[in-house]
A and B are shown apart, each in its own frame.
Chain A
Amino acid sequence: MTPLPAAIEATGLHVSRSRSKILRGLDFRVEAGRITGLLGPSGSGKTTLMRAIVGVQRISQGSVTVLGRPAGSAPLRHDVGYVTQGASVYPDLSVQANVRYFGAMHNATAADTADAMAAVGLESLARHKAADLSGGQFSRVSLACALVAHPKLLVLDEPTVGLDPVLRAELWERFAAMAATGTTLLVSSHVMEEASHCSSLLLLRDGALLAQLTPAELARRGRSEDLERAFLTIIKAADRGQEERQVTT
């Protein structure tokens, strides 16, 4: 069986910011047309890795290739969508004006704008000012501003934070539907139960990749169906391994 084409490929990726090492030598590939979860405790480097992939973070060593090109290169700007953790939209504009503006960068039509708003369930609030929306609605405006471009790779930093369970389920269904049509999604989260929605997981800790595996493998290796506990088991095992190495050297 030939492997699926890689949407993202990182080799020996190092990132340092103001002299502290945030990412230390990551090697991985993310398959196209799948949902890949980026999991790890806060401060593990998830956001920095995502920023390196969308090309806004300078890399100190190694490389990241996105859709066959170096991350951040100009032709990728049409194909890569990035939704930051804090919603980066204009609070003093209406939902529609926000989506339309970001759509204008990708020659989106009025129908694209309407579709993007419908996709996140905000069509009835199109004319409301973003600042007047609830926290969850506000972050969905940010998502709509990425969807309007029909990106081939969508990078989402903690998209489900602050959403109620119903909305969270709807959003994951939406992501699955997008993956089914060929979109690659990289979704970060620090909530382990969300891992089950992904077809592959990148476990990050202290800027290093602990493992790349499927949710089923995570459950097996962590000896628990509860993915949160499974993840903790793997972390502990890794810590123990590190201590043993330090003892032997």
Chain B
Amino acid sequence: MKTMIKNIFSAALVLGFMLPAVAVAQNADEVFRAVGTPHNPKVQISFNRYYTAEGLDALTKKIADAYPNLVKRVSIGKSYEGREMYLMEITNFSKGDPDRKPGFYIDGNIHSNEIQGGEISVYTAWYLTENYGTVDFITEMLDERIFYIAPTINPDARNNYMKEPNTGSSPRAGMIGLDDDRDGLIDEDLPDDIDGNGSITQMRRKSATGNLIIDPQDPRKMITIGVDDKVPAGVQRYEMLGQEGIDNDGDGRVNEDPHGYYDPNRDWGWKWQPDYIQRGAYKYPFSAPENRNVADFVLAHPNIAGGQSYHNSGGMILRGPGAEEDLSTYNRADVRIYDAIGRKGEKMMPGYRYLTVYKDLYSVFGGELDWFYGSRGIYTFTNEIFTRFAYYKNNNGGRNLSYEVDQELLMGDAFEPWKPFTHPTYGEIEIGGFKKNFGRATPGFLLEEELHRNMAFTLYHAYHMPHLSIADVKEKDLGGGLKEITAVIKNDRLMPTHASQDLKYKIERPDYISISGVDVQAGMIVDNEDFGVTREQKVEPAKLRVRNIPGNGFVKVRWIVSGRGKYTITVDSAKGGLVTR
């Protein structure tokens, strides 16, 4: 009997493994392709809801299992609470050396409550894999480039946001406990979910001296009493008591020592400043382990030429500098490239604006995008996903917009109606307000569009990573057994192999353009072919060291060689890849 059970069990197990993922796809006869979307994908995913850290892990595993030749799923390390941080490497692994292809890095959710990046990451992985071989643009992209995608780089607190009581803006930090009120105790006064609905909303109390009344036309809403307003005697006045919570530590303050607090996006090693200068900084750059894992991965992958981090909200495509004091880091040559990509993004994502962090948002040190660019020379954007524009496809929404959306589009799912409770300090109170999943997180019915548009922007960015080819090779017989070989190395995309920040500090090594198979007598870079202006490289002329191959540009090199054999020219660029002819 026992053996039988075991047999059945193992048979089921084998069956489970052998059943191709296709089994879950729809019958091909039953569907019709909506343009631009995989219509019968191997991996079925609902893109109108959000996933916990484990949910994201399960999805990336499904994608990796379904497309082993396109996806390798690796752990870049553990989070503070010990979760594996999975990153998908996505490329055509059977073509070329994967880590030598120009790489594009994507992550989401560094701020734990800013969740959409997780789903955009999964959507991007899904879209790339399901369209490989069907859509030429995608096929070429995966043949020539590699994507490194980490759906959440704050998995612990992502779960906290979803599973524990929070507002739409908390915890934002990771889960490392800190002493916010400097009293020697750590996270001792967290928010308290008095009404048990999973969201931290607002507390109000009836009060003869209160300055608010309930809107007679909408019981969800409070109206502030103006100086000249005459409130009839029978109308109840209210006072607001702040966020839902109690004074857990008896110090006379409510919710003053929540999770963290530190800001994982003030923890990066470019012009980092301590907490008293830059609120949110932790101990030192990459002292949050999740960020250290990312930084170590990026340092080990000099092929990464473009980067994208997803935040929410406000509909912004952000570039650095984060801090006004760092203005000089972003020089004109690179800003032109940012501008070209950012403006395209404004078109692709209606309602989004292309902005600069320090002047349009806030002036801050230690942000992720500044480290990627300032320290690694990687062109990087941060998108603040979702904007109120999305609700009615216009910017006309006024003060009542949230209430209208709740009623008209979300059928009242966004608002927790006011209900009475007894509070240990405040006595009889009422609790209610907008739930944590409203306001910053995109509503389900808009989510797939949001994911797609952001992905499309990022693919455009990735398309413009350097793309090198040996465009032209000319030979000239110089007599006496000598031959002159001139080669044109072309880069037909926006980004150079070295950002100007990179050139300024020699962040990445030069590009090598080498020739083999012949005896090289001399090697030189050709500055002007027509007038014969060249610069000779006296040492190791067979391996010319070129500082940069410009975007939408070219570099010409020349060798004087002897010997008649077949020769090979190789371009070896850290960010531009490896090309041979």
A and B physically associate: no
